[in-house]
Structure 1
């Protein structure tokens, strides 16, 4: 997780992240509030036994979205690392070699790096685990195509990492038009035995049927959310292992948006842990899941 130093509403991402909103606050105040939310969130994760590695952002880089590291990097069980091409130019500066060195110093093993970033020069993007939802057990990868998730790049990723691709388009209504949702992980969360998903965003009946087919074939319980709940980031969740229990991590806004039946369905499988991320969600257009880059690397 990256502690922000220059967090604000990123003007370069707002063009196709329809979740971002302007807060009438000075940037320094926005960053201070984001830091408070970040620190409280990390404390909650550590309190239940989640190992959180916090790296500070570099103030010289002016990277307003550095708090969302899952978009530029992914870590894999065999020691492979993926580096991803980013839509916004100012987000490309988030890729920092010293973070890989830090992980190696913490005892993690890095064997190979798959670098997809040259695609930026051609105008093609694939924003890490924002764009790609990996079912690491069943070796399937789900991707909602958008300006930030190129189909050919996604298929290349699936070939390199040996995943079966599940491709679809997920839309949201913006000013009366259906527009692609910028990241898959906003409308869908894959957990060990269940999936939280906003099926209403998949307008194509065949694509929706195909997604459901794959989820059901792998024995996932399907917990559906509405588009309204998705806009409270109820799709932007991540399941983590604590000391004694598994937890579904989400923001307070996402938690509050869920109804009794949805909460009960989740709690059959794991506990819920939520934290207030109001400033981060409003200005950044991302939530709890986006703030965590899961480290699956082997240890020495």
Structure 2
């Protein structure tokens, strides 16, 4: 299986704001004081549009679907949490922690992709786990090393171990399970999504190893990556707080490799880290300040990779 794709799905927001339902365990979210909701949404739309433009300019095939007016879906801009698309024609639908995020799942989006020539053979639906209070939020919770058949998961209230193992059995991935923490008000709290602290590219990985407090687990994760001949670029917790872990490698024109991140992530990197990454990829960054502040997610969360076969 290939690790990266040229095709991504992105959802343009219509009612973006800080989602109070996710803020209980996403400590990156903030209310922007003095800004009306309409202003916040307009700023997010502007950031979104510029971001899409930059991706398309380098040849990334971006399918943009507008969120639905009147739906209470403030986090719809982050589709990678509720859906994933796989090379064998499978689509996975995931159980979401926040009730209003469950409203983001839309069948018409699958119709849109089929209209574009993508082939969907089978839907793996894990959403019934919501009824029992178990969650696994897509490629936010799961970090897939497709080429090496491994799936990395930092357990959290939004990433259930048994569900993760079920996914790995269904999709034939070897599970790599650990816990990752960050400091919030001087307390170590579980990081809500794996893709905040880690990114896996074709030939490299970006990891905040300092988040993996258990030394055995930390060693296991790093050895797993290095054993697959990934160059590991370590980031600090401060860089993680600037969304430096929330990156995604995509393909542009002529299969050129790009590492996509926010401006804040890029600015937090050292010259040495940038040089390390540029040995592998061309860096593409965009200003996502409003989206990061209110949504508590960044560039990677906004892109759902499409690996589906095409007609």
* Residues 126-137 of structure 1: pairs in structure 2 closer than 5 A: 126-137=136-147
Q: Which residue of 1 aligns with 2:190?
A: 180
Which ranges of structure 2 fall in alignment gaps of 5 or more residues?
Answer: 1-9
Deviations along 1:233-269, one digit per CA (max 9) or x if unpaired, are 0000000100032100000000000000000000000
Structure 2 residue 171 is matched with structure 1 residue 161: yes
Structure 2 residue 279 is matched with structure 1 residue 268: yes
Structure 2 residue 29 is matched with structure 1 residue 20: yes
Deviations along 1:100-136, one digit per CA (max 9) or x if unpaired, are 0111111001111110000000000000000000011
1:142: how far off?
0.2
* Residues 55-94 of structure 1: pairs in structure 2 closer than 5 A: 55-94=65-104
Tell me which stretches of 4 or more aligned residues in structure 1 moved more than 6 Å.
Answer: none
How far, CA to CA, are the matches of 1:161 and 1:61 in structure 2? 32
1:227: how far off?
0.1
Q: TM-score, normalised by structure 2?
A: 0.96
CA RMSD after TM alignment: 0.5
1:60: how far off?
2.3
How far, CA to CA, are the matches of 2:138 and 2:60 in structure 1? 22
Q: SS at 1:195's partner residue? A: strand
* Residues 100-249 of structure 1: pairs in structure 2 closer than 5 A: 100-244=110-254, 245-249=256-260
How far, CA to CA, are the matches of 1:119 and 1:176 in structure 2? 33
1:232: how far off?
0.3
Structure 2 residue 278 is matched with structure 1 residue 277: no
* Residues 24-35 of structure 1: pairs in structure 2 closer than 5 A: 24=33, 25-35=35-45
How far, CA to CA, are the matches of 1:170 and 1:56 in structure 2? 33
Which ranges of structure 1 fall in alignment gaps of 5 or more residues?
Answer: none
Deviations along 1:143-181, one digit per CA (max 9) or x if unpaired, are 000000000000000000000000000000111111000
How far, CA to CA, are the matches of 2:147 and 2:71 in structure 1? 37
How far, CA to CA, are the matches of 2:257 and 2:302 in structure 1? 18
How far, CA to CA, are the matches of 1:192 and 1:27 in structure 2? 39
Q: Which residue of 1 aligns with 2:3?
A: none
How far, CA to CA, are the matches of 1:266 and 1:96 in structure 2? 36
How far, CA to CA, are the matches of 2:248 and 2:15 in structure 1? 25
Q: SS at 2:305's partner residue? A: coil
1:209: how far off?
0.9
Q: TM-score, normalised by structure 1?
A: 0.99
- Give the count of matched residue pairs: 300
Q: SS at 2:70's partner residue? A: helix
How far, CA to CA, are the matches of 1:60 and 1:128 in structure 2? 25
